[in-house]
Structure formats: C-alpha cells, structure tokens
C-alpha cells in the first residue's frame, strides 16, 4: 500500500467517524472509522520510515578524464 492508499484510509475513516450519522445493526461505524484512521496513520509512518532508509546519500564518484585537448 502506497502513501495514497494510506491517505485514502484516513479520509474514509474520518468521514465514517465524524461526518455520518448512519446506524447499522451490529456495526459501530464510529469504531470502524477510528480503526481505518489508525491503520492509515500506521501506514503513513511505515511508508515514510522505509522511504527515508531508501534515500541514503551516496557521494558521487568523480573520475578524471584526459581528452587530449590539454584543458
């Protein structure tokens, strides 16, 4: 799951928790929304942690070249 999927989970969870007043028998939509938001936040944290490790700074390799032009 990418960053976009995590943000989508957070948005859907927030909508279910704060913007709806639906009632389903046997399902607490507020709790479902909170769980979706929690999973989304955990996903964002994991994604940024992995992305930070992948961006290790590697110094560029500089080689001298002799073109024969004497510059």
Question: Given this model, what pLDDT does residue 47 score?
Answer: 92
Q: What is the CA radius of gyration of the chain?
A: 24
User: Tens place of pLDDT for every residue, the chain, 71 residues?
Assistant: 788 999 999 999 999 999 988 888 999 999 999 999 999 999 999 999 888 777 666 677 777 776 666 55
Residues 4 and 41: their CA atoms lie apart, in Å, by 12
Model pTM score: 0.70
Q: How does DSSP classify residue 4?
A: H
State phi, psi for 55 to the nearest 5 degrees: -90, 40
Question: Given this model, what pLDDT does residue 68 score?
Answer: 63
């Amino acid at each position: 799951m990418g960053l976009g999927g995590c943000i989508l989970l957070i948005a859907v969870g927030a909508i279910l928790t704060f913007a709806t007043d639906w009632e389903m028998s046997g399902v607490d939509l507020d709790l479902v929304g909170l769980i979706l938001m929690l999973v989304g936040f955990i996903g964002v944290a994991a994604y940024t942690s992995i992305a930070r490790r992948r961006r290790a700074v590697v110094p560029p390799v500089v080689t001298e070249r002799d073109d024969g032009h004497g510059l």
